[in-house]
C-alpha cells in the first residue's frame, strides 16, 4: 500500500511532473496534455492565425509609446478631417488627431479593461465553481442560487446600475462586466468540476487516503482549469465587445482618453464626411475579437476529445 501512494501522486497532474509511466489508469500528466494540445494546435492553421492576431495586438498595445505615433490626444485643428493617406494612415478626426494613434492607444485602455474584468471574474469564479462542484448540496445550492440571481439581471442593466452607483469610467465597466461574467464562470466551472468528481481517478486518489484539500487542489483544480481556460478565452472575446459597447454608450473612460468605444461614439456625428473615423476603430475591434474567437475555438477543438474528427 505504501508503494502505491507515490505512484498515484505521480499520476496526479502537477505542473512539475514529467514522469509519464503510471501503473493506474492515470489522468495524463500536464506535459503530456500540453504536448497533445500543442500538436493539435499546430495542425490547425486557424489557431495559428488567431494566436498571431492576439499576440500582435498585445505587442502593439504594450509598445504603443515606442511606435513613433502622433500624440493621440493632442489637438491639431488645421489638420482636421484629413482622409487616410501617407502621414495619417487612418486619417485624422474632427480635432485633427491621428486616428491610427487613437486606435492603438485605445487598444491599451480596452485590453486593460478586458484583462482586468477577466481577472476580477475568473479568480473568484473558478474557486466558487469548484467549491460548488465538490461541496455538499446545501452549500452548492446556496452558491448557485446566488449566481442565478446575479444572472437574472440583464447584463446591460447591471452595467447601467453600477455606472449609476459609482459614476462612469473604466473602473465601473470592469466591475459591471466582472459581476456579469462571475456567475457564468462559476456555472461552467461547477459543471466541469462535477464531471471531474465523478471520474474514477479521483476515487482512486481518495481511496489512497489523500486528504480532501489535497484532492481538490491537486486533482480537481488542475483538471478543471484546462477546460475552463478555453471557455475564458471565448468569454474574453465577449468582454472585449461588451467593453466597446459600454464605452460607446458613454459609460466608460471619458474623453479625451481614447478607447475603441468612445472613438466610435465621437465618429458618429461625422460619418457623412469623414467615415474613416468610424471605420478603423471598428475594424480593430472586429479583428481582435476574431483573433480571440479563432484561438478559443481552436483550443477547444484541440482539448475536447469529442470534437476531434
Least distance from C-beta 94 to another protein, angstroms?
15
Nearer to another protein, 225 or 290 (CB): 290
Q: Is 115 in the site for another protein (CB under 8 A)?
A: no
Contact with another protein (CB under 8 A) among 289, 299, 302, 303: 289
Contact with another protein (CB under 8 A) among 3, 15, 66, 272: 272
Q: Is 157 in the site for another protein (CB under 8 A)?
A: yes
Q: Which of residues 13-52 bind another protein (CB under 8 A)?
A: none
Q: Is 132 in the site for another protein (CB under 8 A)?
A: no
Residue 88's beta-bridge partner residues?
A: 85
In sequence order, which residues have a C-beta less than 8 Å from that of residue 91 and are 6 or more positions away? 81, 82, 83, 84, 85, 99, 274, 276, 277, 280
Q: Is 290 in the site for another protein (CB under 8 A)?
A: yes
Q: Is 179 in the site for another protein (CB under 8 A)?
A: no
Q: Is 12 in the site for another protein (CB under 8 A)?
A: no
Q: Is 114 in the site for another protein (CB under 8 A)?
A: no
Nearer to another protein, 174 or 298 (CB): 298
Nearer to another protein, 121 or 130 (CB): 121
**Could you tell me which of 230, 223, 218, 217 has the C-alpha nearest to residue 198?**
223
Q: Residue 259's CB: how many other CB atoms inside 10 A?
A: 29
Q: Is 304 in the site for another protein (CB under 8 A)?
A: no
Contact with another protein (CB under 8 A) among 64, 69, 112, 160: 160
What is d(CA 200, CA 198) in angstroms, rounded to the nearest whole number?
A: 7
Q: Which range, of 12-20, 22-30, 99-107, 158-166, touches another protein by CB under 8 A?
A: 158-166
Provide the grid cell at 272: 457623412
Q: Is 278 in the site for another protein (CB under 8 A)?
A: yes
Contact with another protein (CB under 8 A) among 220, 244, 299, 303: 244
Q: Which range, of 105-113, 190-198, 224-232, 260-268, touches another protein by CB under 8 A?
A: 260-268
Give ∠ CA 181-184-188 in degrees, rounded to 5.
140
Instruction: Provide the binding-site residues for another protein, judged by CB under 8 A.
Output: 148-149, 152-157, 160-161, 163-165, 237, 241, 244-245, 248-251, 264, 267-268, 271-272, 275, 278-279, 281-282, 285-287, 289-290, 293-294
Amino acid at each position: 500500500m505504501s508503494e502505491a501512494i507515490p505512484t498515484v501522486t505521480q499520476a496526479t497532474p502537477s505542473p512539475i511532473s514529467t514522469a509519464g509511466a503510471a501503473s493506474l489508469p492515470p489522468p495524463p500528466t500536464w506535459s503530456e496534455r500540453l504536448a497533445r494540445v500543442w500538436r493539435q494546435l499546430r495542425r490547425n492553421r486557424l489557431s495559428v492565425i488567431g494566436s498571431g492576431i492576439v499576440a500582435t495586438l498585445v505587442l502593439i498595445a504594450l509598445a504603443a509609446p515606442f511606435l513613433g505615433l502622433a500624440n493621440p490626444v493632442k489637438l491639431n485643428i488645421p489638420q482636421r478631417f484629413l482622409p487616410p493617406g501617407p502621414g495619417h494612415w487612418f486619417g485624422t478626426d474632427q480635432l485633427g488627431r491621428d486616428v491610427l494613434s487613437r486606435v492603438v492607444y485605445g487598444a491599451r485602455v480596452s485590453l486593460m479593461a478586458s484583462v482586468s474584468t477577466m481577472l476580477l471574474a475568473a479568480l473568484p469564479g473558478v474557486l466558487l465553481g469548484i467549491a460548488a462542484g465538490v461541496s455538499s448540496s446545501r452549500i452548492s445550492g446556496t452558491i448557485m442560487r446566488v449566481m442565478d440571481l446575479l444572472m437574472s439581471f440583464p447584463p446591460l442593466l447591471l452595467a447601467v446600475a453600477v455606472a449609476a452607483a459609482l459614476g462612469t469610467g473604466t473602473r465601473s465597466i470592469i466591475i459591471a462586466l466582472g459581476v456579469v461574467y462571475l456567475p457564468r464562470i462559476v456555472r461552467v466551472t461547477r459543471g466541469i468540476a462535477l464531471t471531474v468528481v465523478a471520474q474514477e481517478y479521483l476515487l482512486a486518489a481518495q481511496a489512497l487516503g489523500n486528504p480532501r484539500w489535497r484532492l481538490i487542489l491537486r486533482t480537481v483544480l488542475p483538471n478543471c482549469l484546462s477546460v475552463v481556460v478555453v471557455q475564458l478565452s471565448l468569454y474574453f472575446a465577449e468582454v472585449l465587445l461588451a467593453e466597446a459597447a459600454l464605452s460607446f454608450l458613454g459609460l466608460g473612460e471619458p474623453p479625451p482618453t481614447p478607447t475603441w468605444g468612445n472613438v466610435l461614439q465621437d465618429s458618429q456625428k461625422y460619418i457623412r464626411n469623414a467615415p474613416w473615423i468610424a471605420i478603423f476603430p471598428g475594424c480593430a475591434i472586429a479583428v481582435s475579437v476574431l483573433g480571440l474567437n479563432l484561438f478559443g475555438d481552436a483550443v477547444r477543438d484541440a482539448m475536447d476529445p469529442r470534437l476531434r474528427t
